[in-house]
Structure 1
Amino acid sequence: MAALTTLGIIHTAISLVAVGSGIVSLARTGNITWKNGVGKTYIVTTILTCLTGFGIYQHGGFGKPHILGIITLVVIAIAYAGDRQNLGRASKYVAAIGYSMTFFFHFIPAVTETTTRLPVSAPLAAGPDDPLVQKLVGICFLLFLIGTTLQVIKLRSKSGAGGGVAA
């Protein structure tokens, strides 16, 4: 097992803040949004996680982690446009689903790195293609689908009742 570099430690710390603030935001309001402090913390630290990640993914050049980082940044930009109501009637849905998708994206490397590094003496998984990693990421994806479905239902019920978009 390779030890974490200084950048790797910083990256991990930032990502833990992102995941923690994402959990708090989802628990408090049922969504992540730029419209409150905890949501802003999530979005900024997720961006920083992506940017610091580009410097630590050194497994033979450009690869899947880089692609995930780029996709995450693109999805954040689209979700932010939705958060700013720049996408018409779909804005609130684009924001909710987009930010939730980036939250799910955090768990792909988290599951992979954790299971392939811990316990130190005998990691749970041999690599990212290990069946255990694939199953755990699949469970995270299922939770993402359930969560976003609940968010869409909540948004639709608020819109149908004339309540507008929840911040």
Structure 2
Amino acid sequence: MFYGLTPLGIVHTAISLVAVAAGLVAFFHYREISPATRAGRAYVIATVLTCLTGFGIFQHGGFGKPHVLGVVTLVVLGVAMLAGRSGFGRLSAYVAVVAYSLTFFFHMIPGVTETATRLPLDAPWVTDRDNSAALKGTIGALFVVFLVGATLQVLRLRARRARGSDPRALRRT
């Protein structure tokens, strides 16, 4: 095992890193995750694969919180995709951008947790994933970053709509 990971855990981690990288590219280049872009499509595919591979990992017992997070992530991705097809009427663009961003935040929860409980190898930063104030604070801070980012995305979409441009229009690459 590599850093305490099973072969499936290694594959799962690699795919999740692809998802996070694609999400960051989408945020920095397009200011949102959208399947209309190459980075957005890569993000969605890698996020689905991350969830699916995560269902086979039971390092901490049976079906648990990480598995529930995978299910919730897939549901939120479904909502985002439905919104992208105008499934929420005038609110569709807003629902989609917030939902995709929320799934990115969901990537951060296990990412921070697993990193903090595994590194450094000889003395991990966090030894109790369920009761660590530092871990809870870090995830809380990341949630605030999500809220600020989602607010900025919604404001940008509102400004586009006020100018009369399609709030879902992105450059396709």
Show the counterpart of 2:140: 138
Show the counterpart of 2:124: 123
Letter of the structure 2 residue corresponding to residue 152 of structure 1 = V
Measured after TM superposition, the shift of residue 163 of structure 1 is: 1.1
Where 2:126 maps in the other structure, the secondary structure is coil
Show the counterpart of 1:8: 9
Show the counterpart of 1:53: 54
Where 1:127 maps in the other structure, the secondary structure is coil
- When structure 1 is superposed on structure 2, of 1-10 and 13-22 the one drifting more is 1-10
Please give the alpha-carbon distance, in whole angstroms, between the structure 2 residues aligned to 1:137 and 1:128: 12
Show the counterpart of 1:106: 107
Show the counterpart of 1:38: 39
- Is the 1:57–1:65 Cα contact (8 Å) retained in structure 2? no
Show the counterpart of 1:164: 166
Give % identity: 51
Show the counterpart of 1:70: 71
- When structure 1 is superposed on structure 2, of 41-50 and 131-140 the one drifting more is 131-140
Unaligned runs of 5+ in 2: none
Unaligned runs of 5+ in 1: none
Please give the alpha-carbon distance, in whole angstroms, between the structure 1 residues aligned to 2:18 and 2:101: 16
| TM-score, scaled relative to structure 2 | 0.93
- Is the 2:34–2:97 Cα contact (8 Å) retained in structure 1? yes
Letter of the structure 2 residue corresponding to residue 137 of structure 1 = I
Measured after TM superposition, the shift of residue 127 of structure 1 is: 2.4
- Judged with a 3 Å threshold, the aligned counterparts in structure 2 of structure 1 residues 58 and 121 are, in CA distance, closer, same or farther, namely closer
Where 1:94 maps in the other structure, the secondary structure is helix
Please give the alpha-carbon distance, in whole angstroms, between the structure 1 residues aligned to 2:25 and 2:128: 30
Letter of the structure 1 residue corresponding to residue 16 of structure 2 = S
- Is the 1:21–1:41 Cα contact (8 Å) retained in structure 2? yes
Measured after TM superposition, the shift of residue 36 of structure 1 is: 1.2
Measured after TM superposition, the shift of residue 2 of structure 1 is: 6.7
Please give the alpha-carbon distance, in whole angstroms, between the structure 1 residues aligned to 2:28 and 2:128: 32
| RCO comparison, higher one (Cα < 8 Å, 6+) | 2
Equivalences, count: 167
- Is the 2:79–2:99 Cα contact (8 Å) retained in structure 1? yes
- Is the 2:3–2:121 Cα contact (8 Å) retained in structure 1? no
Please give the alpha-carbon distance, in whole angstroms, between the structure 2 residues aligned to 1:121 and 1:58: 19
Q: Return the match for 2:149 from 147, 155, 166.
A: 147
